[in-house]
Structure 1
Amino acid sequence: MPNPPVTFPALFTPANAVAFANPDGTAQTVSSEAPLPVAISANTGTQPVSAVSLPLPAGAATAASQSATNTVLGTISAQLPATLGQKPLAQSLPVAPASDLSNLEPGATAITGAAMPSGGTGITGWLSAIYRSCSEGATASGSVTSATTVISASNNLYMGGSFQVTSPGTTCTITYEQSNDGTTWVTLPVISAALPSAAPTTTSTTAGVYSYVSSAAFVRARVSTYTSGTVSVVLSQKQQVAPSSGVSLAAGGSGIGSVSVSGTATITGNVNAGTGFTDSTTALAASASFTGTGRANSAGQFAFFNATAFADQAGTLFIDQSLDTGATYQAIANQAVAAGGAGMLSVRLCGAVGTATLYRVRYVNGATLQTTFRLSSSFSAS
């Protein structure tokens, strides 16, 4: 017959304890306050501890190997600077990449001269940003078969470049333009790089290289007139460009200073060439005189009134001026003319420009009849 099960009361808590006997025979439970006593042999006193008497693990430091350790530590210490801080080259250790490291930044795209990454972080992103900012000679191309834009590009980081028309189409016109907002376009002057003395233009109809200089944000080449064929253009942009060889002078009458012209120059407009008069060629009688016509300085470009006389007999040459429209004259210059000689006078113009101020030439013959007499006058700018 099996034993009946034993059921403990609910308040019964099992406990485990280690106890030892006190000298008086009572039981003592082991605790932190009453630890288990350890008996020591009768051989009391100091007990030496040494590597010989104690079992040490393999490779443990002992006095037997301490000198070798000190030697190694001394060698390492000799390679290090005596103090901390930046040191000169002679006291520094070189740092070199590993010989089997093919990329400075293994976690990123390799940096090569053939294909730089477009961006990123770390060394690769930094170097690629510098490369893209400093790149020179960016090129782009386009081809169309209708009246539309052939090539359009940002001009940021560039100061100019050239459009090469590789295929002009048939009876097509290409217009060159520039813009800052990319929407409103104005003409872009270009100049043929193949002609040493080409004038700037804004369109082209033939193949060739057309250089430009621009600080606008965008540039483009657009087919403004299309007939047939394919129009192809290649754009090359430069950060540094040479000045265009053509020179265009502003229209109008404003002064532009001195201009040196080589070759044949065609001049239009008013030229300060001066104007002259033959006053008399009739010989004068003894002690006779000749009075020329009063002439007004009505042209602002004149600055001098001049007179020249030749006679076979002695006489006197005069220049007279009137400030009251010819009512009265006063002699302002004179010169004696010897027989068979010539005389010349020149006075700077003064007074108001107009009909009120008049100049005239006058000649008084000496006591002998002339047989030859020549008298002339002029206005000049210099």
Structure 2
Amino acid sequence: MSSIRPWRDIDRRVSRQIMVGSVPVGGDAPISVQTMTNTPTEDAAATIAQIRRCEEAGADIVRVSCPTQEATAALREIVREARVPIVADIHFHYKRALEAADAGAACLRINPGNIGSAERVREVIAAARANGCAIRIGVNAGSLEKDLLEKYGEPCPEALVESALDHIRILEDHGFQDYKVAVKASDVFLAVAAYQQLAGAVDCPLHLGITEAGGLIGGTVKSALGLGNLLWAGIGDTIRVSLSAEPEEEVRVGYEILKSLGIRSRGVRVVSCPSCARQGFDVIRTVEKLEERLQHIKTPMSLSVLGCVVNGPGEARETDIGITGGGQGKHMVYLSGVTDHHVQDADMIDHIVRLVEAKAAEIEAAAATLEPALDAAE
């Protein structure tokens, strides 16, 4: 089989690049994964602890709400302790934006048209510029401006895009270019159509999200449909999966969406069957336990877990490590697509975890050896 697979190609939309703290967004930068804390920001210790869990899950950027002066006061400590850039979520009070920028926020989530007079807008833009702070314009179908609702009668793609362009114009009029834009909706069709229209109208980075998507299962499905369609079309530079679940779960789902499209890879990609009467072991429980025990693996690799030999060998040929169910509680283990040895039921999960950990160490060691050679060649 040819290694060239044109049907997998994604022709990514060309956008200009901005920096959100140390993370490049747009251009040819990797699509970043974001989430948002749900602790009271005023409780710096609790917020930092939650950010740490998000970092461990792989978050590139984390957003925190800053509705009060106490919140922006705590933000300074939060920014200092976080290992990833922090976005301050601001809605209407321009002073919170000024305080957040001074406290070290890497980005302000704010709609400049919603914060009052032209003088206030100028102050916020000046604070962002002085502190090297980006701005994220966040248009949401649930909070569209009254005049746009009157004009269009209801939230629609045209209304979301017009709102975004109005806010963009304000920043552009002040010569501010370090911004990204989101046009979110809880309706998948509405959000996708709005992003498609906006993508053709601007060159700034786009932050993708299906807002208020729902719980872990329902929200994951909606987000995968909406974000997956856009990403497959090459639209999107950073994503947030909005779930009624802990923020680290949003990060994990975000990576699963990116992994499924071959856009980014982090940790173990599990290929597993839905199980049937042919299974030689309890596939469902095995996958549950393996996913839980392998969360600490950050090195990209693949693992196939198949209950029988019908599809098992074929899937194992495409993965780093594989296992297929056999008779009498004895199962075949594949390494790099080749049959290697058997393992018994009682030892299977511990054995696979050890194999994955060893493979991760091998990959990391090879990368560490290769890096100095590449640096020397340059």
Does the alignment reach a TM-score above 0.5?
no
- Rg comparison, structure with higher value: 1
The structure that is helix-richer by fraction is 2
Shorter-normalised TM range? under 0.3
- The TM-score, its normalising length taken from structure 2, stands at 0.21
The structure that is strand-richer by fraction is 1
